[in-house]
Structure 1
Amino acid sequence: MQAAVRRVLSNYATFTGRAPRAEFWWWWLAVLITLLITSIIDAMIFGTAPESGQPISWLVSLGLLLPNIAVAARRMHDIGKSGWWLLLAFIPLIGGLILIYFYVQPSQDGSNDFGAPNPLA
């Protein structure tokens, strides 16, 4: 997990290249754990009332927005699709399901249209 997080953060806003499945899913697990921890910290500091909000979680989410989009675009490149396919997320329910289907696909062997070699090779 640490290697995947380091790789994604070192490519903070890099939308070129490829991200294998393991890197993508380890990154999302790390993000989920981070947001869970920040939510707990928010609850301890600001309380759990809806009007208190969760400012720490919001700031962390904002800081992770760009690497989340970048690693998802690189994951799309890894299966031979353009990063623009991420716009499917704006289609309620169906778009998210299609993206999950894409995310679990195996990497394309060799180079693909995006010119990057398979990171697993």
Structure 2
Amino acid sequence: MQSLLFSFQGRINRAKFWLVHIAMWVVMAVVFGAVVGGAALSTDPEAALRSVGTVPGLILAVVYILIVWVGLAAGVKRWHDRNKSGWWILIALVPVIGGLWYLIECGFLRGTAGSNTYGPDPLALS
């Protein structure tokens, strides 16, 4: 599990890629809801702003950093599955076209059949 979430080595298939991304969205929604949701229930706007202060903000920052790391690791491993360098993940930074390219290539296209430069076929291992 640790190598799936935090390592930039190897390959993952589309199913694991989608599971990781769905889990990331769920975790972020739960943490954000827990931190900000309490503030939304307050009738005093100033008290609401204070309640999302240093500690909750720090919690959100740590969770966000972990989620970005896990997302990058999953993306790099999908690029590896497509037999491309992990640096291709930077294509997602190109507005609109880059995000679509990343989504289509990593989310929908099959990886390289058999072993490639980055390791054995993840479908053959499962």
Common topology (TM > 0.5)? yes
Which one of the candidate residues 94, 103, 108 is aligned to 2:112?
108
Q: Secondary structure at the match of 2:73?
A: helix
How many Å separate the matches in 2 of 1:58 and 1:32?
Answer: 15
Q: Secondary structure at the match of 1:15?
A: coil
Q: Deviations over 1:25-57 (max 9, x none)?
A: 001011111111112101233338795476233
Q: Which structure carries more relative contact order (alpha carbon 8 Å, separation 6+)?
A: 2
Q: Is residue 48 of structure 2 the alignment partner of residue 58 of structure 1?
A: no
| Structure 1 segments (4+ residues) deviating >6 Å | none
Corresponding position of 1:93: 96
Amino acid across the alignment from 2:70: P
Q: How many positions carry a matched residue from both structures?
A: 113
Q: Is residue 81 of structure 2 the alignment partner of residue 78 of structure 1?
A: yes
Give the structure with higher Rg (CA). Answer: 2
* Equivalences for residues 13-24 of structure 1 within 5 A: 13-24=6-17
Question: For structure 1, which runs of at least 5 residues remain unmatched after alignment?
Answer: 1-6
How many Å separate the matches in 1 of 2:93 and 2:20?
Answer: 22
More helix by share: 2
Amino acid across the alignment from 1:92: P
Q: Is residue 96 of structure 2 the alignment partner of residue 68 of structure 1?
A: no
Question: For structure 2, which runs of at least 5 residues remain unmatched after alignment?
Answer: none
**TM-score normalised to the size of structure 1?**
0.80
Q: Give aligned-pair identity as a percent.
A: 31
The CA RMSD over aligned residues, in Å, is: 2.2
- In structure 2, the CA distance between the partners of 1:45 and 1:13, relative to structure 1 (3 Å rule), is same
How many Å separate the matches in 2 of 1:105 and 1:19?
Answer: 12
Alpha-carbon offset, residue 64 of structure 1: 2.1
